[in-house]
Amino acid sequence: MSILEKYSAAISNKDEATMNELLHDDFKFTMHKSGSALSKADVIKWAMSGDIKQDKTRVVYENDEVGIHHSFVTFDDGNIEAVMAVYKYKDGKIIALETGATPMPK
């Protein structure tokens, strides 16, 4: 199973231990839609809240340095976004994540 497949499964299963294993301690998540950035702890807390529900998840590309992932994400507030994510890897872990999101009709 690839890093991104494990990451998606960890979010879906609210698997905090796997999230901790997959995310580098220096991890940074940059969300271009809002302009904010989240740390490893922030992302794990958010993922464990159940707010992130991914559908039609697919790995577009992945190698030892980067991964590209697309999914439709439904949030607790009912908003749905098509999310394209680019992951950078270091030491076999995800060190950086940047996303672009397109709002979808409800």
Q: What is the pLDDT averaged over residues 4-8? A: 95
> In which domain, by residue range, is 88 found?
3-104
Between CA 7 and CA 78 the distance in angstroms is 23
Q: Dihedral of the CA atoms 51, 84, 22, 38 (nearest 10)?
A: -60
List the CATH number of the domain containing 9.
3.10.450.50
What are the tens digits of pLDDT across the range 11-51? 999 999 999 999 999 999 998 778 889 999 999 999 999 88
The number of domains in the chain is 1
Q: What pLDDT does residue 52 have?
A: 85
Give the confidence band of 80 by pLDDT, cuts at 50, 70, 90: very high
